[in-house]
Structure 1
């Protein structure tokens, strides 16, 4: 395996968003992604009611935000012609994953045959790719930022209604992901050999679903911890935050204890861990990058709180309507 083929770009950005497709009348999840594909940057996921958007490689968070706005607009326009609306959120407020159609492609059917519980994984994340100069730099940065990823999750929580709803949990997506193999924290990866040992155990390393992972083909560190954001500006803010974090995080003297990471990750699903410290850490590098104004948007309450407020006041159908209106 040639791990280093894509490396060489320093701190470039790329973002993947996972958007839900809803029936325009009922606001329930609706199949139809196959009818929306065509423009570059759009891809399928396991379910026919999901679509993934991919920005091109960007130099700045401002470029990322512009591309995210463009891609969302393209999907909205194509969806509207099919009686579909789009929703950007970590989990649908009332539709059940097990009831949704699966894309009838060999890779997805093989995934379900190997792991039937994948049918429960109808959750959406915001994946940020940060370009790395070398593979070794990528591994060192992974370990350096790992202690801060629970705080990233806490800032992003946006999936409070995934069934069975657990009171107080604001990111049910984060718990659902742990049902997958090779999820959560990566093991310590001190060198290329340790990565290749892990990656060679699966047919394709993109079937490693850690919260953060090297992506050698793209030459990036892919940070996968965050829930999908409803506000496109918050999505752009997370790109800026994570770019600055890759600059500011101190190299680790020794690998983080993975049990400690899991403990903090669980706390983060309730929005409870070190978010102010994270924002303080990235302030100086984000000012130098010219992105602090964007990062500061994350001082606002995470979007799960708005979902709960709307739901308590008007019901879950109103939550879906509010998410659609803001996506």
Structure 2
């Protein structure tokens, strides 16, 4: 049986001419609600300058690709009717003072976490893959953790922050890491170990609810899925599909290893943080830490290792050739971070760069 996969994407709302973020989420959601024949796919996010959507679960990647493109187009139409545009950038290149969303939860976050909450205008991509049980899900989490920095590098799409080039390919990952519960996690060993750790974290009273467990990958608290949360939102929708394809391949590979009784890699959280930092700093433009050795190797070699590691699972789901082709395309043109820098070098302005990325968002 082929596992289902779904995607959540967060998008920026911007002025279509200047590229400046626009606090228009309430208006955009109202337009989307009027246009929708059923429940709207869109939701508010932490800041009024953001919009989020979630796809339905799919077994065929071409169906997922169609829904992502269609929903991005619907988001663009609703935003245009509200005087804005949507763009798939993981941070705002242009200077911005984000506008925190309404509601008691947002007020609590601002009071509890101060500037960390106020500055969090970041857009990620979350991939959900179905699992049969919490035990299988935790078996997967324990075995995919060393590969998650590679997915971050592949999706890197946030080189600019508050009007400046940060020298990182994914600066979103650095900003997101300021939450106390964000980042890589230890090996849990069992569903009981996972839930014991969740309970211990909640009993600290630092967090409001389990939705604030911002692990790089976790058991979803809403669906029977493993939720991989490490990635930037991808500028090119094809890269989102590639990301989802590889995540499903990793989940299936890990589940098979768990069923076979193969122990997970015991790499510690400190090394995983180093690997994530390296991935966010260099993207695919330099070395990554190889998951098998935690030593630097060229990104191309690490991507080859990822394909080899998931090859049987990708073959089983009939995704291997498409994944190889899509990965070759990313290697050729680069990630969203590289595209942003190239467009900025050509146009000479961050606003112009954002405006061009608005069209690239729709593919």
What TM-score, normalized by structure 2, do the two folds share?
Answer: 0.82
- CA distance in structure 2 between the aligned counterparts of 1:157 and 1:252, rounded to whole angstroms: 30
**Does the 8 Å contact 1:10/1:133 carry over to 2?**
no
Secondary structure at the residue paired with 2:160?
A: coil
**Does the 8 Å contact 2:92/2:162 carry over to 1?**
no
Structure 1 residues 164 and 184: alpha-carbon distance in aligned structure 2, compared to 1, 3 A threshold: farther
**Does the 8 Å contact 2:17/2:351 carry over to 1?**
no
**1:263 aligned onto 2:292:** no
Structure 1 residues 214 and 10: alpha-carbon distance in aligned structure 2, compared to 1, 3 A threshold: farther
Q: What is residue 235 of structure 2 aligned with on the other side?
A: 230
Q: What is residue 51 of structure 1 aligned with on the other side?
A: 51
Pairwise CA distance, 1:22: 0.7
Q: What is residue 209 of structure 1 aligned with on the other side?
A: 214
CA deviation string 1:126-164 (max 9, x = no partner):
100010011000001011111111111111111000248
Secondary structure at the residue paired with 2:231?
A: strand
Instruction: Summarize the alignment of residues 229-248 of structure 1 with structure 2, pairs less than 5 Å apart.
Output: 229-248=234-253
CA deviation string 1:230-285 (max 9, x = no partner):
11111111111111111224454453211111111111111232223112322342
Pairwise CA distance, 1:305: 0.8
**Does the 8 Å contact 2:163/2:350 carry over to 1?**
no
Q: What is residue 34 of structure 1 aligned with on the other side?
A: 26
Structure 1 residues 47 and 167: alpha-carbon distance in aligned structure 2, compared to 1, 3 A threshold: closer
Pairwise CA distance, 1:325: 1.2
Secondary structure at the residue paired with 1:53?
A: strand
**Does the 8 Å contact 2:17/2:355 carry over to 1?**
no
Structure 1 residues 164 and 145: alpha-carbon distance in aligned structure 2, compared to 1, 3 A threshold: farther
**1:298 aligned onto 2:327:** yes
Q: What is residue 309 of structure 1 aligned with on the other side?
A: 342
Q: What is residue 93 of structure 1 aligned with on the other side?
A: 93
**1:11 aligned onto 2:3:** yes
CA deviation string 1:265-317 (max 9, x = no partner):
11111123222311232234223312234423133221211111121232212
- CA distance in structure 1 between the aligned counterparts of 2:264 and 2:101, rounded to whole angstroms: 45
**Does the 8 Å contact 2:93/2:163 carry over to 1?**
no
Structure 1 residues 293 and 253: alpha-carbon distance in aligned structure 2, compared to 1, 3 A threshold: closer
- CA distance in structure 2 between the aligned counterparts of 1:190 and 1:27, rounded to whole angstroms: 46
- In structure 1, runs of 5+ residues without a counterpart are 1-8
Instruction: Summarize the alignment of residues 132-211 of structure 1 with structure 2, pairs less than 5 Å apart.
Output: 132-163=131-162, 165=164, 168-200=167-199, 201=202, 202-211=207-216
Secondary structure at the residue paired with 1:139?
A: helix
Q: What is residue 6 of structure 1 aligned with on the other side?
A: none
- CA distance in structure 1 between the aligned counterparts of 2:76 and 2:166, rounded to whole angstroms: 33
- CA distance in structure 2 between the aligned counterparts of 1:30 and 1:285, rounded to whole angstroms: 42
- CA distance in structure 1 between the aligned counterparts of 2:44 and 2:92, rounded to whole angstroms: 18
**Does the 8 Å contact 1:10/1:131 carry over to 2?**
no
CA deviation string 1:86-108 (max 9, x = no partner):
10011121133xx1211111111
**1:288 aligned onto 2:287:** no
Pairwise CA distance, 1:318: 2.4
Q: What is residue 102 of structure 2 aligned with on the other side?
A: 104
Structure 1 residues 50 and 294: alpha-carbon distance in aligned structure 2, compared to 1, 3 A threshold: farther
Q: What is residue 276 of structure 1 aligned with on the other side?
A: 304
Pairwise CA distance, 1:165: 4.7
Coordinate RMSD, CA, aligned: 1.9
Which 10-residue stretch deviates more, 292-301 or 20-29? Answer: 292-301
**1:220 aligned onto 2:218:** no
